[in-house]
Structure 1
Amino acid sequence: MLKKMSDFVFGERPQAHLPERVRRAIVDLQVNSEILIGWAQLCLVLFFLLLYSVAPKTSEGTDFMPVPWVLSAYLVFTLGRLYAAYRCTLPRWFLMTSVVIDMALLMGLIWSFHLQYEQPASFYLKAPTLLYVFIFISLRALRFDPKYVAAAGLAAACGWLFLLWYALFGENRIQDLTTRDYILYMTSNRVLIGAEIDKILSILVVTAILAIALVRAQRMLTREVADAAAAQELSRFVAPEIADRITTADKVMQPGDGETKEASVLFSDIEGFSTVSEKLSPDALVRMLNEYFAAVSEVIERHGGAINQFQGDAMLVTFNTVTTDADHAASAVKTALGIQRITEERLFCGDIRLPTRCGVNTGDIVSGAIGTPERLLYTVHGDEVNIAARLEQLNKQYGTYVLVTEQTARAAGSGFAFDVVGEVTVRGRAAPTCVMTVKAK
């Protein structure tokens, strides 16, 4: 029951153990928040100084002028605090102390009004400057940490309670200044206890509401940072475009969710990979593949492709599936030629060449999720995908490294030189498929 009530008021509690990277990300956000608070306080004190300098003075003829001194002291303190926030992570004790100093300076300024205007101490209880406490309390909300909002609110409430006590009992006061007459309270230096308690309660209620809102926001922030970190980690295992599509979908993806659209598919495979792998230790083999995939992925990303699958040393790459690309056929052909160029020019793992065969096809492709509700794979399906895989294998027969279909050649445009090398009948199709090689013009 208590847990349900707590979750209802404060929001669902995030997982107990957060990964170090998530905790570090939250700390970085809090550090940036302290810098933001510092700038907000600096702008605030500069605004007050400007306002004080241009506004008509209400204390002509008095020698005691505390406002410029207090504002100057607060300006120096704010500049020092902002400098420290840029230099290092501010410790909790310093932040708590700064909250108390903020309120102490404000309460000290309010307290000084009765000296400035040569009035009884109860005079300052009607100062509208009290409203500034809500500015200082709300400033602490920028950090998404309810402790500092609570500290600011409690400091303000305690400060005003002390000022009330001083007005009633300070300076060896004997005369009873309290009254229950509201008109007399408003037109004299008399004190209406209920009105002052009302101010303290208002400060505490606003503080409590802000603190509850911040607890909810902090828990939501923690969950969002954890989810973002998880999505970023998962994007290393699937194409970033696919991860972005999954995480930004309006509804949870289910098995069978997908769409059919014209797109291009590229299949790639390293020539003679089995022979190469026999000569390398497992560690060297993994290092070589990582170098190879990093180099090839750069070419793929440059032309807008999305890597749907790694299959050993082979890759399935799609264009115009997760991201829109009107020239997807040309992009696929450019990618295939780019892969040939980089594998011809570059040696991997020291002195190993990795010539790569590519097959490219264009047509209507189904892209979407397959599997069970608990475990899904986002991939592409259809005859056009099978044809691209078949073309990659046909490179052995024709002694080539890039083969494309007639559909791809037509869609790619006139920026390439295509040569027909033959026709192939793909299993499940009656009509033969025209196969071409390609070169850049």
Structure 2
Amino acid sequence: MARGGNRGDQTSGAPARVRSEIALRETEAERLIGWIQLAMVLFFAALYSLAPRAEGGGGFNFVPLALGAYFLFTILRVALSYRIVLPFWYLVISVIVDVALLCGLIFSFHIQYAQPATFYLKAPTLMYLFLFIALRALRFEPRFVLITGLVGALGWGALVLYAVLQGMGSMSITRNYVEYLTSNAILIGAELDKVIVILGVTLCLSVALYRGRKMFFEAVRDHAAAQDLSRFFATEVARSITGAEEALTAGQGSLRDAAVMMVDIRGFTRIAATLPPETVMMVLSRYQEAVLRVIARHGGEVDKFLGDGVLATFGAVAPSPTAAADAVRAGLELPQVFADLAPDLTLEGWPEALRAGAAIASGPVTVGVVGAAGRLEFTVIGDAVNRAAKLEDANKQQGTTVLTDAATYAAAVARGLADFGPELRPCQVVSGLSERADLVVLA
């Protein structure tokens, strides 16, 4: 499949990854065209070998030679399409070969049947030209349809011209349709009609392809954008955005029972200020990747990264009856993740042993879209979000790594978490909360 140089079509200005995706689709289309042409050759060869021979054809039969040559050319074309990107000039030559084969086959009829050249003008084989034109539409490039149609019209025009010149003096040009059909006379209007139909079909198909190509490029861009979106949002969030029946607006939301987890690195701001930016970003990346794996493994979704903080939800984007249990299970894994990660981060340049904390809270949250018309954000809002953040801060005063409250732990046990008898710290003062909290130490 050829890119064909700088085309200046709808791909101009598109990101490189979009152009690459389009080029890949066009390569696949070119291979498909080759395979269909190969199937056509084999079908016609089988049909020719099985069908009874037409009567009256005593001259030399060019059909086996034409089919054999075209078979070899098509095999070469398919093989090359898997090895290289077929250049534009090669594809043009391929179109010319297709049409030349058809016109040559039609031309051979007057030799095979020992008739004047005007004889082949009645051959229904011309209809196969429309099949070649339609095949080029599989590539979604109007220019190849146009080239095929123009070459086909020129080929047929050349056959008509030869028939007129070859038969001068022995045949007549008629306006009688019956005479045209029952003799070797030429009806110029009929031949002109064929050229007009060839060009008309070519033009209509090219215009349709041009419009379809614009939509195709937009679809590829949207697909790439959706893939990018899924990297910035949880999978379910991205799907809800791209699959929304109507445009999302600020204020849309729904109430769900969910669990919220907040994870944070201790002393990150202080330590990061002393390190090169690349070290800070590498540490953040390794830490966030490790935390994300744990959250995803237990059915959670990262709502957002807050610098060194991670805000995750369970059962918010997609309802889950086991949200609290899943969140607590994830929280129980985190201390070991932090311990395993610490040596690697030290090698990356983090000067202290990694100290991080997490907290989990549950309850009703509003899941939806906030912001203004020009800047929207999909997020969760509610008391559980605030409590998770405050409980995470409380890890510092409590000397713990992972905390939750008694209500969340009870909900987790009710939904399948094995009660392992964690330490309880009732009636604790938590900065930022209006009432004392019954804390459960998970680690």
What is the TM-score normalised by the length of structure 2?
A: 0.89
1:139 corresponds to 2:135: yes
1:65-122: CA deviations, max 9, x gaps? Answer: 2222111111111110111111011111111111111111111111111111222212
Aligned residue for 2:156? 160
User: Structure 1 64/338 Cα, relative in aligned 2: closer, same or farther at 3 Å?
Assistant: farther
2:56, 2:113 within 8 Å by CA — same for their partners in 1?
A: no
RMSD: 2.4
Deviates more, 1:258-267 or 1:56-65: 56-65
Deviates more, 1:184-193 or 1:365-374: 184-193
Q: CA deviation at 1:430?
A: 7.3
**Preserved CA contact (<8 Å) 1:421 1:435:** yes
Q: Distance in 2 between matches of 1:188 and 1:326?
A: 84
State which of 289, 294, 297 in structure 2 corresponds to 1:302.
297
Q: Which residue of 2 aligns with 1:4?
A: none
Q: Which whole-Å CA distance do the structure 2 matches of 1:280 and 1:135 have between them?
A: 67
Find the counterpart in structure 1 of residue 114 from structure 2: 118
With 93-102 and 401-410 compared, the bigger mean Cα shift is at 401-410
Matched residue, 2:223 = 228
Cα 1:334/1:178, change in 2 over 3 Å: farther
Q: Partner of 2:386 in structure 1?
A: 386
How much has 1:191 moved relative to structure 2? Answer: 2.2
Task: Tell me which residue corresponds to 2:268.
Answer: 273
For residues 119 and 201 of structure 1, the distance between their equivalents in structure 2, rounded to whole angstroms, comes to: 26
Q: How far apart in 2 are the matches of 1:64 and 1:324?
A: 76
In structure 1, the partner of 2:345 is 349
Query: Quick one: structure 1 residues 418 and 99, their matched pair in 2 at CA, closer, same or farther if it must change by over 3 Å?
Result: farther
Provide the residue aligned with 2:284 in structure 1: 289
**Counterpart-to-counterpart distance in 1, 2:395 and 2:433:** 20
Moved more, 36-45 or 329-338: 329-338
Which whole-Å CA distance do the structure 2 matches of 1:283 and 1:414 have between them? 40
Change (3 A) 1:270 1:315: same
1:44 matched residue in structure 2 = 40
2: CA distance between counterparts of 1:176 and 1:302?
A: 84
Counterpart selection for 1:436 from 435, 440, 443: 440
Indicate the residue corresponding to 2:94 in structure 1.
98
More deviation, 425-434/40-49: 425-434
Aligned residue runs from structure 1 range 5-404, under 5 A = 17-59=13-55, 62=58, 64-170=60-166, 173-346=168-341, 347-351=343-347, 352=350, 353-404=353-404
- Give the aligned residue type for 2:368: G
Unaligned 5+ residue runs, structure 2?
A: 1-8
- In the alignment, is the contact (CA less than 8 A) between 2:390 and 2:433 conserved in 1? no
Moved more, 29-38 or 374-383: 29-38
Cα distance, 1:61 vs structure 2? 6.3
Deviates more, 1:316-325 or 1:132-141: 316-325
**C-alpha separation in 2, matches of 1:319 and 1:122:** 79
SS of the residue aligned with 2:359? strand
- Give per-residue Cα distances to partners, 1:312-344, cap 9 Å, x unaligned: 210111122333444322322232233322211
TM-score by length of 1: 0.89
1:413 matched residue in structure 2: 416
Question: Alignment partner of 1:329: what SS?
Answer: helix
CA shift in 2, pair 1:108/1:338, >3 Å: farther
SS in 1 for 2:82: helix
One-letter identity of the residue aligned with 1:226: R
Whole-Å separation in 2 of the counterparts to 1:15 and 1:79: 31
Equivalents in 2 of 1:101, 1:400: separation in Å?
A: 78
User: What do residues 292-328 of structure 1 show as CA deviations (whole Å, max 9, x unaligned)?
Assistant: 1122222222333221111121011112233344432
Amino acid at match of 1:132: Y
Q: Distance in 2 between matches of 1:425 and 1:160?
A: 92
Contact 2:263 2:392 in 1 (8 A): yes
TM-fit CA distance, 1:40: 1.5
Q: Percent identity?
A: 42
Question: Deviation at 1:229?
Answer: 2.8
- Distance in 2 (alpha carbons) for counterparts of 1:301 and 1:263: 15
Summarize the Cα distance change of 1:295–1:175 in structure 2 as closer, same or farther, 3 Å threshold.
same
Change (3 A) 1:333 1:44: farther
Q: Do 1:59 and 1:117's aligned partners in 2 also have CA atoms closer than 8 Å?
A: no
The alpha-carbon distance between structure 1 residues 176 and 240, as it changes in their structure 2 partners (threshold 3 A), is same
* Secondary structure of residue in 1 paired with 2:345: coil
Total equivalences in the alignment:
426
Cα distance between partner residues in 2 of 1:416 and 1:300: 21
Structure 2 letter corresponding to 1:392 = E
**What is the SS of the residue equivalent to 2:305?**
strand
Q: Find the aligned partners of 1:325 and 1:38 in 2 and give their Cα distance.
A: 50
Q: Structure 1 54/326 Cα, relative in aligned 2: closer, same or farther at 3 Å? A: farther
Shift of 1:258: 1.4
Per mean C-alpha deviation after superposition, the further-off stretch among 364-373 and 228-237 is 228-237
Q: For the Cα contact (< 8 Å) 2:345–2:354, is it kept in 1?
A: no
What is the CA–CA distance in structure 2 between the aligned matches of 1:62 and 1:423, rounded to whole Å? Answer: 108
Q: 1:218 to 1:61 in 2, by over 3 A?
A: closer
Rounded Cα–Cα distance in structure 2 between residues aligned with 1:68 and 1:437? 85
Does the 8 Å contact 2:59/2:111 carry over to 1? no
Paired with 2:38 and 2:337, the residues of 1 have a C-alpha distance of 54
Query: Quick one: which amino acid aligns to residue 376 of structure 2?
Result: L
The answer (yes or no) to whether the contact 2:137–2:209 under 8 Å persists in 1 is yes
1:98 and 1:262 map into 2 onto residues whose CA distance is 63
Give me the whole-angstrom Cα distance separating, in 2, the residues matched to 1:299 and 1:190: 83
